[in-house]
Structure 1
Amino acid sequence: MTTPATHRTATGPRPAGTPHPAEALRLVKVSKVYGGGGADGNAVTALDGVTLSLPAGSFTAVMGPSGSGKSTLLQCAAGLERPDHGLVMVDGAEMTGGTEAELTKFRRRRIGFVFQEYNLMPTLTVEENTTLPLKLAGRRVNRARAREILAQVGLGDRLRHLPEQLSGGQRQRVAIARALVAEPNVIFADEPTGALDMRSAREVLGLLQQMVRAFGRTVVMVTHDPVAASYADAVQFLADGRLAGALASPSVDAVAERLAHLGDALEAPDRRPLDPRPTSPAATAPDTTDAPAAPARPFGA
């Protein structure tokens, strides 16, 4: 695979050969509260001062018990939700400020998405779905490049197929190719294997690894599955709206054990705050809870 001639920075293209910044994604004291609060007690703290730094070219899984903040973390980090407080930076550029139009432009240039439900346009072919983000962003469509990426994810012979003619695993490969073709800095994957059988899930997880190792992207994956998490370089755990430790080079058993520990701690009637001490040097110790997910958006919006 050829390396792109330039990489984008906050101020414009970066010449080929210039190193990536150490951080691909940084959250600083990010908080998000849903509901009106006050005496009615209906406010839900979804994120509680989360600070997190992820290096460029890494694959990180985000896990936690139900209601831990996984979806809200992804939505705030990806610009689908605005945090109430704190800072989100992608590739050294601040994302949390500006108008909705500016935020949309930021996402289209710097961020890719892989969703559980694929979010493919049913009337568009595989190739057309793959190049759609470029068209929405008003960027030049390099069809040869798009076809090269589709061939690399095993869909070189499916260019003219419609989504209904594909298996679930093939549809998710289209979503991965679509994310790659725009050359984003960070790719967010939200339960990408949740609707797949075991064989297809393994293939998709292998492609996510390839995004990092062959394409040089940074992948952040929200998942509930310890097997899926074991494909990542590291796992960040959330509980009660805060970070609750991390695992480097995670194994299935180690991830499952940590999740069980978090679940037991949350169910304890007189529980104390969870121990935030990291389990590896890759962990950052600060602070996350899940609130209702944001309404679904059309891809690229």
Structure 2
Amino acid sequence: MTPAVRLDSVTKIYGRSANVVRALDGVSTAIPSGTFTAVMGPSGSGKSTFLHCAAGLDRVSSGTVRIGGTDLGELNENGLTRLRRRRVGFVFQAFNLVPSLTVRHNVGLPLRLAGQRPNRARVAEILERVGLAGKAEARPAELSGGQQQRVAIARALITDPDVVFGDEPTGALDTVTAREILGLLRDVVHERQGTVVMVTHDPVAASYADTVLFLADGRIVDEMSAPTAEGVAERMTHLGAWA
């Protein structure tokens, strides 16, 4: 089966001459479809760069990135934009909702940007799935942080994407709400056979994943299957020395 996301010898370099930063250094990994993968590492390890390159938000300096069978390096900017709108969903720590739009219109925004008219029944179905039935006409400011993140997840799912990428999606939430959001992301995998790739600094959040990838100095230095919060936390304390 073709992996949902595949990176082969990916390097990402920022800056020039004396100010060069090698954010990713020959990263290779294949993320199977229908799985939940967490990406962890110390500050500056390359986690966010990994996510941005894997999702097509940033071009790699060398190597290849594929979503499904599509080589992102072969797409021009318009092609990348179309791929992100149709095949990729995003959930960010800051929610990134449009304050002036209702919940319904925020959820349908990716479809409108892709030139499609959102189906109200489909939007209502997604909102019910994330526990926001009855909130379609509310504005983001009228919602709690957890509810806003649920809107962001609904927005990520509205295009039925191949992969949902999360950048610290529970970082701004309290513990109880964070666990509810992580449960929703697990449901994306279990109920929809979707694929989730999430960057996090939280061992408890990582324990919801099927696999944890550990980054250090721009390289994948370890991998853990069936993670526990305790096991992830213990591994993180030795990551720098091990790397």
TM-score, structure 2 normalization: 0.98
Say whether 1:227 aligns with 2:204. yes
**Percent identity for Structure 1 against Structure 2:** 58
Say whether 1:34 aligns with 2:14. yes
Say whether 1:133 aligns with 2:110. yes
For 1:16-95, list aligned pairs within 5 A: 21-37=1-17, 41-95=18-72
Query: Which string of whole-angstrom CA distances, capped at 9 and with x for unpartnered residues, describes residues 39-66 of structure 1?
Result: xx31110000111101000000000011
In the alignment, which of 101, 110, 115 is matched to residue 87 of structure 2?
Answer: 110
Say whether 1:245 aligns with 2:225. no
Please tell me whether the aligned partners of residues 79 and 96 of structure 1 are also in contact (alpha carbons under 8 angstroms): no
Aligned residue number for residue 197 of structure 1? 174
Runs of 4+ aligned residues of structure 1 deviating over 3 Å after TM superposition are: none
Partner Cα separation in structure 1 for residue 102 and residue 60 of structure 2: 36
Please tell me whether the aligned partners of residues 115 and 190 of structure 1 are also in contact (alpha carbons under 8 angstroms): yes
Aligned residue number for residue 256 of structure 1? 233
Q: CA deviation at 1:82?
A: 0.1
Partner Cα separation in structure 2 for residue 247 and residue 199 of structure 1: 25
Partner Cα separation in structure 1 for residue 192 and residue 148 of structure 2: 20
Partner Cα separation in structure 2 for residue 95 and residue 111 of structure 1: 12
Partner Cα separation in structure 1 for residue 31 and residue 160 of structure 2: 18
Say whether 1:98 aligns with 2:83. no
Aligned amino acid, residue 198 of structure 2: M
Aligned amino acid, residue 197 of structure 1: D
Partner Cα separation in structure 1 for residue 225 and residue 75 of structure 2: 35
TM-score, structure 1 normalization: 0.79
Gaps of 5+ in 1: 1-20, 266-273, 275-301
Partner Cα separation in structure 2 for residue 264 and residue 46 of structure 1: 19
Q: CA deviation at 1:261?
A: 0.5
Aligned residue number for residue 146 of structure 2? 169
Aligned residue number for residue 183 of structure 1? 160
Say whether 1:150 aligns with 2:136. no
Please tell me whether the aligned partners of residues 123 and 162 of structure 1 are also in contact (alpha carbons under 8 angstroms): yes
Partner Cα separation in structure 2 for residue 116 and residue 96 of structure 1: 27
Partner Cα separation in structure 2 for residue 96 and residue 103 of structure 1: 9
